[in-house]
Structure 1
């Protein structure tokens, strides 16, 4: 799947770039084209690991703009049909910043009929809109069009379009180090309004627990069975859920098993999670859950399987870090008041921060994501497009 194309219509090596200017030309965007691009993107049905149509759309636009791009093979182990798309604005030069959006939607947008009412784009109500995260893709594509038109006015940057974010940040995790060289960047994937950004997230551990007993006929010889449901109840009795303290929450959200009403349940599966702003506490609680499951299984004469996985590590962005002070200055230049937020979910920013790349997830205003009521204001897409341009063109 590894592919690359370098079809630049001009030479980045023969022109001086990043000649900062007060001209408004480099901050001017074509709102109609931004909306048109967004509408085209959301009408492409491409869920996680089936993102080839969206990636092809982006690749074709890069070729038209004469920009250098690489598509990696990161999706191959997952059976995906398209990898991460990496666009380098000034190949051969060290990138100053990176920007990221993901190409998948959490649910299909097949037969989507978008409508615009009072400056807000919605679906007809039968599907999601797909603003999460096609709005981010449309914004970054619009920025790339501006860079291609005024290459001297912007510093080198990387634009990353990741695959399968919705399944568990697969694309960001698969990204090779050589394809992300900038040390700082911004992810356009928060549903918060413009001005707000994610400054802190918890770490997240997924739990997959199976209590294994012994099936038997419940009406004839139940004493020959080992009831896995009783084992699960015993485990859950001492597994704390809900808000445990200021740092940590836990949940068991799926419980399944059993074969029939007249069979002693031989296997019960439980899926859950623990999230904590304290990684040490998170690991301790995962170990305690595993020990508890083993103790319960032994006492009942059964067995158990316990799997855990750190889906993402949390991060905290200090307001004095350059990645944050730059964002604050750019926001204020556009009359946005910066508002740091704590968010309990994850994004590609978690992967980047865990790898030493300081990244902030910026609010783009996509409201009610993952639902048929999802919508986004055109004005919010416009201001975030200008914000990205300001981050690049401003001297912060």
Structure 2
């Protein structure tokens, strides 16, 4: 059924196309050609204009008389370095030559989707209405998904092919997030002549940090200060310092509590030292938690059984386009495509994983169509 050589060739062709975030034009044109050749209705939305990129999300629709609508999605952008990628096939593994990333994150997902549709059309399998979404700027904070008018397509199920792990891995729980800056404002003074006239913003921030909850707070919650920037010169009492802060929790309530506690700390400490602070931390995407008895989980489990792979449901501390679609009210699940060591020059994917994931997508669509006909 799945044409392994064709799948590999298509994947290789795509990873050779550089597609850094906000500059996905070339890979988008490639995807448009592939989907159009398969007879899908193909559209490009206005997401690129909204986020300052040169490309919008690419949407392809394969109509069906069935009632169910299924979104299959993967993102087109990759992290750097992604220029002049030279794929190498060795011992059943596809990798780069070591000077760049490979780009399996997430062109493996796109390759899986395209090949699965080719199989459906060749074998004339019944299928639900398929909505293919190849999103932009996922690596910059899910920007393409945030600017997709998902209500226009209203999928019953959404499967985002964008996770590490073997075929059969399903991400059923992800965290609520918040991130941004906390700016502490002190008062400058000459550090050698009159330091007592100043208020060192870094000193104030340091006192506050000792009272914050950071790192692994509990089994559901983490927080981190990843960057600190400030200062004008070595002989000036630092007048301002900016802390880059993020927090995550599987519990929205716990996240709210943590953010309130963090703000209270800065409020109290800056008041004590005669400083000020500006809280620029905003809520990010919402988490989701799919229960084992939900239809989207049951359908995925059955497809895994038909494919002959183990279904592994798990949580993750990261996010994906699934978070955005879930937040907008649509059941979404991120599934594994076999990519490994992503975001590094050691990235690779096993050919067997690429192949098996495509088989799983085919079975997933067949399963949904079969349920739809009952």
Match of 2:200 in 1: 227
Q: Is the aligned partner of 1:306 residue 2:306?
A: no
What's the secondary structure of 1:113's corresponding residue?
Answer: coil
SS where residue 47 of structure 1 aligns? coil
Query: Which residue of the other structure, out of 11, 14, 24, is the alignment partner of 1:38?
Result: 11
Secondary structure of 2:301's aligned partner: helix
Answer yes or no: is the 8 Å Cα contact 2:28–2:55 preserved in 1: yes
Deviation at 1:94, TM superposition (A): 5.2
**Correspondence for 1:246 among 195, 213, 219:** 219
Contact 2:79 2:343 in 1 (8 A): yes
Q: Distance between the aligned counterparts of 1:105 and 1:290, measured in 2?
A: 35
Q: Separation in 2 of the partners of 1:220 and 1:91?
A: 78
Q: Distance in 2 between matches of 1:381 and 1:178?
A: 31
| Residue number in structure 1 paired with 2:236 | 263
Aligned counterpart for 1:63 among listed residues 30, 36, 42: 36
- Secondary structure of the residue aligned to 1:312 is coil
Q: Structure 2 CA distance, aligned partners of 1:192 and 1:312?
A: 23
Aligned-partner Cα distance in 1 for 2:125–2:313: 32
Give the equivalent residue in structure 1 for 2:249: 276
CA drift at 1:360: 1.2
Q: 1:349 to 1:391 in 2, by over 3 A?
A: same
Alignment of 1:285 with 2:258, yes or no, is yes
Q: Which deviations, in whole Å up to 9, do the C-alpha atoms of 1:288-312 show, x marking residues without a partner?
A: 2122222222222222111122221
1:114 aligns with 2:87: yes
Alignment partner for residue 137 of structure 1, among 100, 110, 117?
110
Contact 2:60 / 2:131 at 8 angstroms: preserved in 1?
A: yes
Which residue of 2 is the match for residue 104 of structure 1? 77
Say which of 282, 305, 321 aligns to 1:332: 305
Shift of 1:146: 2.8
Deviation, structure 1 residue 185? 1.8
Task: Go from structure 1 to structure 2 and tell me whether the alpha carbon gap of 1:346 and 1:43 turns closer, same or farther (over 3 Å shift).
Answer: same
Matched residue SS, 1:384: helix
Structure 2: runs of 5 or more not aligned: none
Aligned residues: 369
Instruction: Determine the C-alpha separation between the residues in 1 that align with 2:41 and 2:117.
Output: 11
Distance in structure 2 (CA, Å) of the matches to 1:91 and 1:327: 20
Q: Is the 8 A contact 2:67 2:128 kept in 1?
A: no
TM-score when normalising by structure 2: 0.95
**Aligned twin of 1:14:** none
Verify the 8 A CA contact 1:71 1:84 in the aligned structure 2: yes
Partners of 1:30 and 1:191 in 2: CA distance: 22
Supply the distance in 1 between the matched residues of 2:66 and 2:185 (Cα, whole angstroms). Answer: 57
Structure 1 residue 95: Cα displacement: 4.7
| Cα root mean square deviation, aligned | 1.6
TM normalised by structure 1 equals: 0.90
